[in-house]
Structure 1
């Protein structure tokens, strides 16, 4: 078994793979030899452009599938269409999410349902179908759920987001336990505050951020930066690869702030 990541035999699906962390994971997998990969998302123009760019740069067979992870049928079809094209699916990344704001005082039932549909239910059924096909075909497989440090609590204005990600964290461990005898590994990454195009939009939409907000925010961080997608992508690629051995059911905090710590 190789001690360094090797994805020459990987057939991957990345839900939420058209930008930010999902796209960074796609780029990392391809850099480590992944020849067949599907990125999925709701924005067709951006998704097609990203897939075309990756194909042109690498020569790998990269496809985009328009997918709304808030719809269970889309989540299942994403896995089935990838398997139909490539014969099997050996790696899954659930990176799609909505992070719209809401507290315990003002979250509407509609907002709550939207968070759980996209952040929890869709990933659950994508993982289910992924595992079903791997069991049917009798091959090993590995999945990574992109979680968040909010699984430990979360800011007051992230109540439904925190709840949906905490549920996905439990799904990660429960699935890891259920699937280990089939050689299907399931792990998760609790990401901290991350520098992505999506976060830039969120800061401007919900917090009135202006140009220069990122530099100001990073200056306040202990390590002088927000979490970078490329750093997390390396961990995700490792978790998905044979190099991570028997690792399953792990939830890794990827942040510079330590959960449970208090000011000294």
Structure 2
């Protein structure tokens, strides 16, 4: 415990699922946390209480990643609440399950805006503030094995995550001289609130998608918390541009 004591993190999409699990793990390790939520005030307040229960400073804002002014709003709000952040977790994401031939430009644009455009410019703004202060830091992009493993009816999502994974490599290369590390976590199939309609309402589909996972089950949000703490901490100080695949072995099949 205490591996992140004195640090400050921004976690997008931190009110539920993987984002909440990461934010909570950071707080347990002594890190102050500022997180975003899309619209679920009840979940955001619950997360806030949990984080503060660990004795750290915490706050949140409602933010849609498709908002073209969202990045400066987030950076200003986080700085006002906590000061200069050391850690940025680009976790917020969205998708629809739509066959490629049925995808509309509106579907495509929203998924790309939330999943790729926002992390692209959030990383840029985060790094610029660190550089101006002469500080170092860590960016963690939550991508997906969908970045390199195709499934049906998610072409726009898969393209956005492939772009996010390449953003990790590109930003890691350019930001390394400033001591700013950028790494990826690539989750496999995971049960979250966002896909609850699948695993609650269509358990047969969920079992079908899960049957080939070597470790025998889909992921839980908590399965990614340890990887995120590692990438945020000094334990990974000589790691940048990397991708931790956390998927129960799914990508090896």
Normalising by structure 1, we get a TM-score of 0.88
Cα deviation digits, residues 131-158 of structure 1 (max 9, x gap): 0100011111001000000111321211
Structure 1 residue runs without a partner (length 5+): none
Residue aligning to 1:228: 220
The CA distance in 1 between the partners of 2:209 and 2:169, in whole Å, is 33
**Secondary structure of 1:12 counterpart:** strand
Residue aligning to 2:106: 110
Residue aligning to 2:11: 14
Normalising by structure 2, we get a TM-score of 0.92
The correspondence for 1:46, drawn from 43, 51, 56, is 43
Contact 1:72 1:125 in 2 (8 A): no
Contact 1:13 1:92 in 2 (8 A): yes
RMSD over aligned Cα atoms:
2.1
The correspondence for 1:27, drawn from 24, 29, 37, is 24
The CA distance in 1 between the partners of 2:195 and 2:120, in whole Å, is 24
Q: 1:181: Cα distance to partner? A: 0.4
User: Which is worse superposed, 221-230 or 83-92?
Assistant: 221-230
Q: 1:202: Cα distance to partner? A: 4.5
Residue aligning to 2:125: 129
Contact 1:39 1:63 in 2 (8 A): yes
Q: 1:33: Cα distance to partner? A: 1.5
The CA distance in 1 between the partners of 2:104 and 2:9, in whole Å, is 35
Structure 2 residue runs without a partner (length 5+): none
**Secondary structure of 2:142 counterpart:** strand
**Secondary structure of 1:72 counterpart:** coil
Say yes or no: does 1:64 pair with 2:56. no
Residue aligning to 1:255: 247
